[in-house]
Amino acid sequence: MTNANKVRGDRYEREILAQCHRAGFLGATRTRPGRNEDQGDILLNRAGTAIIQTKDVAQLNFRDWMAELDAQMDAAGAGHGALVVKRRGVGGRPALHLAVMDVEMMLDLMARAGHQDGPTR
């Protein structure tokens, strides 16, 4: 008998991976499950400098997930990482997909993308 949560999680990983590919991250790949060091679910680029951890859940647990993401970034040697959470739809509403990351990391990415008005400190 298959684990329904694993099937759901694997499906969501594939969905997010396909979205990464459509956005131009053609080197994005799923990590191999069952490794001693968890490196997240998706390596966003071939260099492995950014990772994504996915969650398809009914209940949110950001505190633990962000701690897991930090450990996964360390294991992967990644400088950037995001938690992508599918909050299932309720009462006829569609699912909500959220990307969550540390605010300092988000500001670093925004600065690298050229969204600053002045020099950094």
Tokens of 90: 């309720």
The CATH number of the domain holding residue 77 is: 3.40.1350
User: Is 120 a member of any domain?
Assistant: no
The backbone torsions φ and ψ at residue 63, rounded to the nearest 5 degrees and listed phi first, read -60, -50
pLDDT at 95 > cutoff 80: yes
Which residue is associated with the tokens 């925004």? 110
The pLDDT value recorded for residue 1 is 45
User: Is 23 a member of any domain?
Assistant: yes
> Could you give the 3-state DSSP secondary structure of residue 82?
strand
Per residue in 5-29, pLDDT (tens digit) is 888 889 999 999 999 999 999 999 9
The pLDDT value recorded for residue 36 is 55
Q: How many folded domains does the chain comprise?
A: 1
User: Is 121 a member of any domain?
Assistant: no
User: Is 80 a member of any domain?
Assistant: yes
Domain span at residue 70?
A: 4-112
What is the reported pTM? 0.85
> Could you give the 3-state DSSP secondary structure of residue 85?
strand
* Mean pLDDT of the residues in the chain: 88
> 107: pLDDT confidence band, cut at 50, 70 and 90?
very high
User: Is 117 a member of any domain?
Assistant: no
User: Is 119 a member of any domain?
Assistant: no
The candidate with the shortest Cα–Cα distance to 84, out of 47, 121, 54, 119, is 54
The pLDDT value recorded for residue 35 is 59
User: Is 118 a member of any domain?
Assistant: no
